Amino acid sequence: MDQLRRAKNVSSAIAAQLDAALQKLPVAGKGRAEPKSASSKVAEGNVTKLSQSDVLADLAASSKPKKRAKGEIEGEEQTVVIDEFRMRFPVVGQLLIHIPNGGSRSNKFEGYRLKRQGVRAGVSDLLLPVARGGYIGLWIEFKAAAPNNAAVTESQKEWVDLMAEQGYKAVICLGIDEAMSVLIDYMALSPTRITALEQLD
């Protein structure tokens, strides 16, 4: 046991010396070299310069979970809603569409141009233009399930109210289960009588 302990101590001491030497390597135009990761040393073929701390540092960096943005999670959940609805209701499934009204604007001119083209803040994410239960269609403002749900903005609330005034069913849903429940219940309603369609017949 004593021999094993001494061997480990020697290895640790060598690793520390290698790290210290690596920190002092000169670089053209700079006073000292930047520390290199274990993976970069392997890529350069400098396997002999690897130390235990190099490997441990690389493992620690690679094991850190990356925090995802709420918008990314919302998009993934919305994709599930679209796929499940189209599977459940193949006849009208393709009519459930996403309104790509959000996202970033690279500059003020682009935002101005898109606004002139009809882009409006607050428009709900999903539209199902299928008339059911006295409504002429369904709008859904979709948010990811808690705790990943983004706040509902005033412009989004305003759009929901405006669509309700125009004869749509318009709701705000948090998560896949809530959105699917709304969609399934809506599709279970009897078709709305559309006078213009009756005249075409």
CATH code for the domain in which residue 115 is found:
3.40.1350.10
Pairing state between β 126-128 and 169-174: unpaired
| Residue 151 and residue 118 share a domain | yes
pLDDT for the residue numbered 28: 47
Question: The tokens of 32 are what?
Answer: 């000292």
Q: Do 74 and 141 reside in the same domain of the chain?
A: yes
Q: Are 111 and 37 in contact (CB under 8 A)?
A: no
Least confident of 44-53, 104-113, 137-146, 154-163: 44-53
Question: Token digits for 50?
Answer: 């690897």
User: What is the domain extent for residue 48?
Assistant: 2-63
Higher pLDDT pick, 135 / 68 = 135
| 107/167 same-domain check | yes
Helix 52-63 crosses helix 2-23 at what angle (to 10 degrees)? 80
pTM (two decimals): 0.63
Domain co-membership, 92 together with 160: yes
Percent of the chain topping pLDDT 90: 45
pLDDT tens digits for 70-102?
778 999 999 999 999 999 999 999 999 998 876
Q: What residue has token string 């599977």?
A: 87
User: What is the three-class DSSP state of 66?
Assistant: coil
Structural domains counted in the chain: 2
- 113 and 184 in one domain? yes
> Are 47 and 84 members of one domain?
no
